[in-house]
Amino acid sequence: MSIGLVIRLLVLALLVAFLVSPESFAFVFEPLTKNNQPVIYNQGSLLDLTLNHLLIVAIATALATTVAVGLAILVTRPFGAEFLPLSRSLANVGQTFPPVAVLALAVPMLGFGTAPTLVALFLYGLLPIFENTLTGLTGLPPTVTEAARGMGMTGRQRLVRVELPLALPVILAGIRLSTVISLATATIGSTVAARTLGEVIIAGLLSSNTAFVLQGGLIVGTLAVLIYDGLSAIERALTRRTGQGARANA
């Protein structure tokens, strides 16, 4: 076991321990409170908030992945070619929209709560995945697709057996970016009354209780770093595998 892995497991264990029994860590945050303010967030269970936060991100990212990969496949097929230039610039323009703006503008249509957060996360999460899938599918070496064609593969077989597996690491990089952005946007989602970890930070800011702000920030930050790290590891493993696969094909 490498040192990196040990550190990661330790951090994860510490995070889980804190979420399950936050009171045992009260002494860490004690010095940050003034005037007998509560030390540990007391308007809901931290574990519930964390699970809810992760659930929202998971649903939004799963939906965004399905739709974005589907759309990217459509516009890279011959019959969708007319949509390719526009969809490429749309993905580019769309990412200049700040996530907060997307979130705030979803409220008039959907009211307060989890719904606008999910929609904002979904819409905003689409773009990096879509852009990366496009890059992955259009950037394949022509020799590989030619070879597949030469082997008599149909368009569908080429897509499923050659193009998608080779594009997978790039697509995964898009999913990783999208997940990290979603984790951050979900935190801001608590300003529109979604039950996420942002609640802890904002409650701390409103009552100027630095202990709350710090716990919320630490939980969200640690989650983001661990998830980012885990997805990067999967990506590296896949790149290694498809790299070998590509060599075998050539």
Partner 1 sequence: MTTADITSQSRTAWLAFDKLGVLIALIAAAGVFLPFAVYRANRIVLGEGVLISSALNAPWAILLGLVLLVGVGMMLLRVNPLAKLGVGFVVLATLFVLIGQSATFLTPPDNTFSRVSPGAGFWLLTFAFALMVTDALTRLKFGPWQRIGILAAVGVAMAALLWSGAWNDLSILKEFATRAPAFWAEARTHLLLAFGSVAIAIFAGVPLGILLYRVKPLRAAVLNTLNIVQTIPSIALFGLLIAPLAWVAANVPGAAAIGISGIGVAPAMVALFAYSLLPIVSNTVVGLVNVPEAANDAARGMGMTNRQRLFSVELPLAFPVILTGIRIVLVQNIGLATIAALIGGGGFGVFVFQGIGQTAMDLVLLGAVPTVALAFAAAVVLDAFVEMVSTRERAQ
Contacts to partner 1 by CB under 8 A:
32, 78, 81-83, 85-86, 88-90, 92-93, 95-101, 104-105, 107-108, 112, 180, 183-184, 187-188, 191-192, 198, 201-202, 204-205, 208, 210, 213-214, 216-218, 220-221, 224-225, 228
Residue 210 or residue 239: which is nearer to partner 1 going by CB?
210
Beta strands in 60-199 (DSSP E): none
Residue 25 or residue 228: which is nearer to partner 1 going by CB?
228
CB of 165 to partner 1, least distance (A): 26
CB of 63 to partner 1, least distance (A): 20
| Cα-based distances in Å from 118 to 196, 207, 227 | 11, 27, 19
Three-class SS of residue 15? helix
Residue 90 or residue 153: which is nearer to partner 1 going by CB?
90
CB of 30 to partner 1, least distance (A): 13
Residue 47 or residue 218: which is nearer to partner 1 going by CB?
218
CB of 73 to partner 1, least distance (A): 17
The vertex-27 CA angle with 24 and 31, nearest 5°, equals 150
Residue 48 or residue 229: which is nearer to partner 1 going by CB?
229
Burial of 168 (0-12, 13-18, 19+ CB in 10 A): middle
CB neighbours of residue 64 within 10 Å: 25
Angle between helices 46-76 and 3-20 (to 10 degrees): 130
